[in-house]
Structure 1
Amino acid sequence: MTPVDLSRTVVRAVRCAVEDGELPAAAGVPERVVVERTRPGGVGEYATPVAFQVARTAGRQPREVALVLARRLGGEPGIERVEITGAGFLNFVLAQRSAAELVREVRSRGLRYGYAPDGELRARVVGDAVHRIARSQGLSPAAPAGHAAADLRVAPVARRDGDVVARYGADAAAWAMLSVAPRETPVFSAQLLVQGEDSELFRVRYAHARSRALVRNAARLGFAGEPGDIGADEAPGLVRALADHPLVLEAAAYHRAPEKLTRHLVVTADELLDFQYRVLPVGDEKPSAAHRARLALAEAAGTVLAGGLALLGMDAPDCL
């Protein structure tokens, strides 16, 4: 179960609890539930304050609502354990997804890994119409359905920075503009022009290029990537970054916060750059199932980086 799946499962649990009379009919069923990684020292892997949200309309204490939801969610496939902390926070331990399962999903979805499934028909039709109307008025169509695009406050580029596209190039300028919250003024510096590890955009693109180089070099050695199990300690950060990608995309879309995606791409790139040296055979070593699994993981990471850059309007060169 992915974090996005978990969010939808919690929404379904609230709806069913209301329909079955465990929660009052007046209890509001949220369209979306915020699910976040627990903080260091917290309980479980993910947590949500949904019980507080529902309690306001249900006329119940948050902990009462949390107890109802915990009973329902504890039996859901993919959820290993549900615990309640504080006044009503729900904390989840999910059944572990293997690296192989994760890689297979990235492969099957390609650049669309992490995208939400197509919505209900009327939601799509209404959403498309709202977007077209917004375009006709010169407004951004990027806001989620139900949000007025004009409500998004975007700080302009400071006059002192001049023509940033001419100075830094379209992609580097865009990266600087997307790396901070829309309401904050972006910072432009000579670092954007650096083709080295001091540049975040360069690291993201370089990590993608390295994933493609690994695939080419493996082909010369006579093998290709194949999803499989890798050692638990081999790439925990990279596996976690890939697993979190759908949740990051959902949060970035809902909050209209592209900086969440840029930060995540940097984390993914850095993890891949650390992992790359363990992918190919060394010396007289023969390609094994472990090498194929590592290569598939690196290839999946490259796919996520390319897809993320595409969403930001940037390309992902195969060679740098």
Structure 2
Amino acid sequence: MTPVDLSRTVLQAVRRAVDGGELAVAVPVRVVVERTRPGGSGDYATNVALQLARPAGRPARQVAEILRHRLLGTPGLAGVDITGPGFLSLTLDRAATTDLVAEILREGTRYGYGDVLAGQVIALHIPHETRAEVIAGALTRIIASQGGQAEIRYEPSRAAHAAYEGTRAPGTGAHTHVTLRPTPEHPPAQSTPHPGDDARLWSLLHPAPHDRTHPVADLLVQRESNPLFRVRYAYSRTRALTREAAHLGFTTTPDTDVAPGTPGTESVTPDTAAPATRHSGPPATPGTAPAPGNEPAPLDRATAPAALAHEAEAPPDTDVAPATPGTESVTPDTDPAATLGTAPATRHPGPPATLGTPGTPGTESVTPDARPAAATPGTAPAPGTPATHLLQTLAEYPPALQAAARHRTPDRLARHLLLVADAFLGFYSGVSVLPVGDEKPLAAHRDRLALAEAAGAVLAGGLDLLGMHAPEHL
């Protein structure tokens, strides 16, 4: 159940309470449901009872109790609590979270598409300026994802540019005229971005239209402060997990498992080519841009930057250098069959890893006294874990995409992709997604792999709408 679904569910509860005579108020147009803030209970919360208290002439907690009674038993909700002066705290059914992952995997890169703009034709009036053209081009795709159509119309003083003319909409539907005049690119470039020029596209799309653009040189460096690198790196990690799982002979569904090394098992998606040989070139040095025409040096799991994990999930005193492949060791009494979002065991302290620098071998061992509590494999993650945070971020992708289409702001989509990437990297650094050593694939590993592939689908779909490439290898 996504925040949009929760908003509709609460709104229906209000409508039923009004129809039943329990509340004498005008039904609001929409209900805002937000993620629970630190220290709160449940997964999401809404202040609708506080908003309706004054018009209803009742205390907010009494209004909240009426709505709580209407919400109890709703499919997808495990609990509804009243907190504070009258907030409704909503706890999702853990089975609904697994349904969300299944929905994302089923819809793929089209997850989040809808029809909120169906029948609408939006005329985008722009100056003949590079950033305005790029924003308008991204908006034509974003608006189309929500069932609408967009026309790009240049200001009368300049002729339309053929590369960004877009699809002319038929003369039907409700026309909406929008004028886009973003802050021009600084410094101005001599040409428009070409396909594959992701750094420049991101520099134009990620900032809000009224903000100045990012320096393109900063987006060519592989480091944590580079938002585009984090998004692209997170997607490449999801693809690497899928390839490595196929090499181990298992996928997210048990009935499609194959023996390791079977020809044709290099990828689980029919339209994906076999994995290319990893490059062995030297990694990029932080603070320097790669040579023109050269792609950034690819990274494998052994050289992944430890700094990419959330600070909240990896305290400074637990940073370790990434281990050389094959050096991960698990003590015999450590049970790896933990749930999807179980926090990792305590690691031996070591020097923080730097980007592109292999870590000290043997630092990846797990101490027996830090074994997490065992849980049933295949269950949904517990609240407050990195996996739950990632699930919530994925659930919020459709409303973020709708907001980007409604408000004509592709930067909202770019910022949410960054949230998804950071949430995935926090999850990726906190658990062993794949079996380690002689460990057999368990239900927990399948759940973690499915969650990783769902994150990859969202990242790929969002980058495609922005006109950017999602790299298989990085």
1:174-189 matches, within 5 Å, as 174-189=201-216
CA contact (8 A) 2:393 2:423 kept: no
CA contact (8 A) 2:124 2:180 kept: no
RMSD: 3.7
Note closer, same or farther for the CA distance 1:168–1:194 as it changes in structure 2 (3 Å cut).
farther
Note closer, same or farther for the CA distance 1:164–1:194 as it changes in structure 2 (3 Å cut).
farther
Who is 1:304 aligned against?
458
Alpha-carbon distance between aligned partners in 1 of 2:211 and 2:49, rounded to the nearest angstrom:
32
- The Cα shift of 1:241 comes to 1.8
1:209-288 matches, within 5 Å, as 209-226=236-253, 230-234=339-343, 236-254=385-403, 256=407, 257-273=409-425, 275=428, 278-288=432-442
Q: What SS does the aligned partner of 2:45 have?
A: strand
Alpha-carbon distance between aligned partners in 2 of 1:100 and 1:261, rounded to the nearest angstrom:
24
List runs of 5+ in structure 1 lacking aligned partners.
none
Alpha-carbon distance between aligned partners in 2 of 1:65 and 1:285, rounded to the nearest angstrom:
53
- The Cα shift of 1:93 comes to 2.4
Alpha-carbon distance between aligned partners in 1 of 2:90 and 2:441, rounded to the nearest angstrom:
38
Q: What SS does the aligned partner of 2:415 have?
A: helix
- The Cα shift of 1:302 comes to 1.1
CA contact (8 A) 1:14 1:29 kept: yes
- The Cα shift of 1:287 comes to 3.7
- The Cα shift of 1:9 comes to 0.2
Alpha-carbon distance between aligned partners in 2 of 1:62 and 1:179, rounded to the nearest angstrom:
40
Who is 1:9 aligned against?
9
Alpha-carbon distance between aligned partners in 2 of 1:292 and 1:229, rounded to the nearest angstrom:
12
CA contact (8 A) 1:272 1:298 kept: yes
CA contact (8 A) 1:113 1:246 kept: no
Q: Name whichever of 189-198 and 52-61 sits farther off.
A: 52-61
Alpha-carbon distance between aligned partners in 2 of 1:112 and 1:317, rounded to the nearest angstrom:
18
CA contact (8 A) 1:168 1:192 kept: no
List runs of 5+ in structure 2 lacking aligned partners.
127-135, 149-173, 255-336, 344-380
Alpha-carbon distance between aligned partners in 1 of 2:44 and 2:238, rounded to the nearest angstrom:
30
Percent of residue pairs identical: 48
Q: Name whichever of 308-317 and 55-64 sits farther off.
A: 55-64
- The Cα shift of 1:209 comes to 1.9
CA contact (8 A) 1:214 1:295 kept: yes
1:146-157 matches, within 5 Å, as 150=178, 155-157=182-184
Who is 1:23 aligned against?
23
CA deviations on 1:156-190 (whole Å, 9 max, x unpaired) are 13554545855997432332333333343333352
CA deviations on 1:80-105 (whole Å, 9 max, x unpaired) are 33333444332222222476444322
Larger Rg: 2
CA contact (8 A) 1:172 1:192 kept: yes
Q: What SS does the aligned partner of 1:278 have?
A: coil
CA contact (8 A) 1:102 1:243 kept: no
Q: Name whichever of 40-49 and 98-107 sits farther off.
A: 98-107
Note closer, same or farther for the CA distance 1:82–1:290 as it changes in structure 2 (3 Å cut).
closer
CA deviations on 1:110-148 (whole Å, 9 max, x unpaired) are 2233445x46xxxx6xx42x32xx338679774989996
Alpha-carbon distance between aligned partners in 1 of 2:4 and 2:450, rounded to the nearest angstrom:
23
Note closer, same or farther for the CA distance 1:297–1:85 as it changes in structure 2 (3 Å cut).
closer
Note closer, same or farther for the CA distance 1:202–1:167 as it changes in structure 2 (3 Å cut).
same
Note closer, same or farther for the CA distance 1:69–1:293 as it changes in structure 2 (3 Å cut).
closer
Who is 1:192 aligned against?
219
Q: Name whichever of 202-211 and 228-237 sits farther off.
A: 228-237
**Are residues 1:135 and 2:123 paired?**
yes
Alpha-carbon distance between aligned partners in 2 of 1:3 and 1:52, rounded to the nearest angstrom:
19
Who is 1:112 aligned against?
110
- The Cα shift of 1:35 comes to 0.7
Who is 2:309 aligned against?
none
Letter in 2 for 1:204: V
- The Cα shift of 1:60 comes to 5.3
Letter in 2 for 1:135: A
- The Cα shift of 1:309 comes to 1.6
Letter in 2 for 1:181: A
Alignment length, in residue pairs?
A: 307
Letter in 2 for 1:192: L
**Are residues 1:315 and 2:464 paired?**
no
CA contact (8 A) 2:109 2:460 kept: yes
- The Cα shift of 1:8 comes to 0.9
Note closer, same or farther for the CA distance 1:42–1:319 as it changes in structure 2 (3 Å cut).
same
Alpha-carbon distance between aligned partners in 2 of 1:303 and 1:271, rounded to the nearest angstrom:
14
- Specify which of 198, 215, 220 is matched with residue 171 of structure 1: 198
Q: What SS does the aligned partner of 1:192 have?
A: helix
Q: Name whichever of 103-112 and 6-15 sits farther off.
A: 103-112
TM-score by length of 2: 0.55
Q: What SS does the aligned partner of 1:75 have?
A: coil
